[in-house]
Amino acid sequence: MYPEIYVLRHGETFWNSEGRMQGGLNSPLTPLGKEQAERQAAILSQIDLNRFAILCSPQGRAFETAAIALARQVDNIHTDPRLREIEVGEWKGRLRSELASPDEFEETPDGALELYERAPGGEGFAALEARCIEFVSSLQGPSILVTHGITSRMLRSTVLGLGRDGMSKMPGGQGVVYHLKNGVQKEMVFCGHFQLVKQYFFLIKINNNEKNILFVRNIFAKYLRSSNTNTKNV
């Protein structure tokens, strides 16, 4: 079982807005990207962060986001190269529209995932998965992770026991915070003065036995009973 984690993706960059592949290159946050980081700060302001280690990708866009979202803890931010974005080789800086037709691959909030797997000279999903397994296995306790779109998907899928095959099932996007604890994933979105929480339930156990299924059903029922107020507030 992995420790409790919060996962943040960096805010929108100028290359994000242009539809460019970034990988190991960097682009600064747009005004919207800074606003998204401020939303993450608002979400995290409701959480006692004192017991959490704070780990960030060394890439500029991630650290720029961390400095905004975790401003009150900025002195405690440590970088870890294993949180960097998947490398895309020869496709760094290329427009996605140059690499595939709009209907060739399924789009996600983090772009067409297949492009990251196929990039010539890129890292590929197998190597990214190995990197993420090594990273999450090294965590010593509750942690806040500031990373990137594709790496975030692989990290969360790894923690939930789904591996690389679960990447496409992960929710994505910017300006949100994902909370993972005891096999439950929550997508935390700040909407004005209210916080909307969507919960995603996965079984970590390999065997989907009756006890595990009942456990998840009970949690989901409890969430539904409490979610009406959140929905109305939003």
* Model pLDDT for residues 75-128, shown as the tens digit of each residue: 899 999 999 999 999 999 999 889 986 677 777 888 889 999 999 999 999 999
Which amino acids are annotated catalytic? 10, 85
Q: Which long-range contacts (CB under 8 A, 24 or more apart) does 11-17 make?
A: 11/35, 11/36, 11/37, 11/40, 11/61, 11/64, 11/65, 11/68, 11/174, 11/175, 12/36, 12/174, 13/61, 15/93, 16/174
Q: What is the pLDDT of residue 208?
A: 47
pLDDT confidence bin for 199, thresholds 50/70/90 = low
CA distance readout (Å), 157 to 94, 110, 136, 167, 175:
27, 15, 11, 6, 19
Q: Which of 201, 202, 205, 199 is nearest to 186 (CA)?
A: 199
**All structural domains of the chain:** 5-206 (3.40.50.1240)
Q: How far, in Å, CA of 91 to CA of 104, rounded?
A: 17
Q: Enter the pTM of the model.
A: 0.83
